[in-house]
Amino acid sequence: MRHRRHTEITMPSSAVRMRGRQLSSGPEKIPPQQSPLAPHRRTERESVSIPFRLRTYEKEVSGSTQDLSPHGLRIMSDTALRAGTPLTLQCSFGEICYLNISGQVVFCRTAGEGTYATHAIGIKFAAMREWEENILASALQALKQNPATQGQSLLTILVSKDTMAQEAAKLSPTTPALSPFKGRKGEQGQRAFNPDPNDPAWVLDFKHRIEPYWKAILECRLVQKASAGTLSLPQMRAWIIQLYPFIETFPKWIALNIAKTRDPVSRGYMIDNVRVEKKHAQQWVYMAQGFGLNPDELYTVEPLPEVDALTHWLWSINTQGTLAEAVAATNYAIEGVTQGIAKLTIRGFPHYEGLDGVHLDKKTYWWMEAHARYDDLHPLQALEIMKLYTTTKELEEKVTFATRRSLEYLLLALETCYTHFQPHGEREASVATPGSTQFRRPVRVH
């Protein structure tokens, strides 16, 4: 398994998880009086201190924790630990609760000289879920309210020995992370799939096979007319309303795959992606309001069957598919092509300013601007995860199919929104798919 440069590393947890901060290299020299924590974090933590035992492969060290919070803690030890070292933390908070938490060394800084040297070790808790963080926060609050309970508590810190932990321990801030393939962008925002000599042969074939589907979305009538500002206002509003349930559930699909990851880099990518995507449903509402829509229209929409099919497909592949298939269908296909859609669509926004009920303020642009900017990175990182977890010929075909099917369903949803809400009565709608496949269906426009 190949690891490349990354900005965030997270570790698995059997009981409690949360996001940590970027790792720093260690050990490094600092003056004895310097605190390794920012002032606001120090203020948050300093009131709770419980006994700890640190067990390494060679010895056991005991003492009292410093700066303990739901995010992590600091300890002083005469034993140094490398930044990135994976840990298992067994927490016994008096009679309040007992938790097993995975953690990781964030820094190890030396204070003092010679035989009197000690090490300030910063530890973060890894990938904590919200409800688990609440439990830990409640336990710490109880310890603050009853200082006597702090002395009855014990934190046992073990250097992890499981396979995943050993793999993560080898990672450092200079380890190469998930690296993107170098593709140029063609006109109209679409990605041109230039061959990357570092990609295996199946990836080059994969890119070639999905390119027509990718291109078909960016060239579909809804996207092109929205980009030119010639899509009718009813159609513009309709597709914003129809796609809201899809936008709102998108981070939930990504979250389903966190438990499937077997390496800390991929897990960190998933967790960070969920954090970012959680903001986008509200940004979509802001965009709808800019186009004169009431948010209740989004919250109560009954999507057309062809639009709803996209949502059902992504639920299916993310719950039943492998990690490689799910990432291909969700992070690579949908997030990847969304960048092109956003870059094109946002060009047409000024044409709608001043129309009936339309007022495009700064918030109206947030969703499109965000996806036109950062979604260039997520699909590239997703491709690296796909390469790591696609280990058989059968999986190569499944990954290609999952990517293609997501693009097919997205195209179907966009074409349906375009035809169903045309302003000229009932007509025969034609939906084309890449290649020669085409199907027709009657569509009634209200």
Cα atoms in the Cβ-side hemisphere of radius 13 Å centred on 152 = 13
The structure's pTM equals 0.56
Structure token pair of residue 147 = 């200082």
Helix H, strand E, coil C: the string for 119-143 is EEEEEEECECCHHHHHHHHHHHHHH
Contact between 224 and 217 under an 8 Å Cβ cutoff? The reply is no
Tokens of 20: 């940590």
Boundaries of CATH 1.20.910.10 in the chain?
187-443
DSSP category for residue 273? H
pLDDT tens-digit profile of 72-104?
Answer: 889 888 888 888 788 888 887 766 666 777 788
- 389-to-260, 261, 266, 324, 381 alpha-carbon distances in Å: 10, 9, 10, 6, 13
Neighbouring CB atoms inside 10 A of 409's CB total 22
The CATH fold of domain 187-443 = Heme Oxygenase; Chain A (1.20.910)
Q: Which pLDDT tens digit goes with each residue over 339-396? A: 889 889 989 999 998 888 888 888 888 888 887 775 456 778 888 899 989 999 999 9
The three-state (H, E, C) secondary structure of 325-352, written as one string:
HHHHHHHHHHHHHHHHHHHHHHHHHHHH
Is residue 291 within 8 A of residue 195, CB to CB? The reply is no
Nearest residue to 366 via CA among 288, 293, 251, 273: 288
**In the prediction, which pLDDT does 152 show?**
80
State yes or no: pLDDT of 283 exceeds 70. yes
Q: What is the CATH number of domain 28-169?
A: 2.40.10.220
Residues of the chain with CATH 2.40.10.220: 28-169
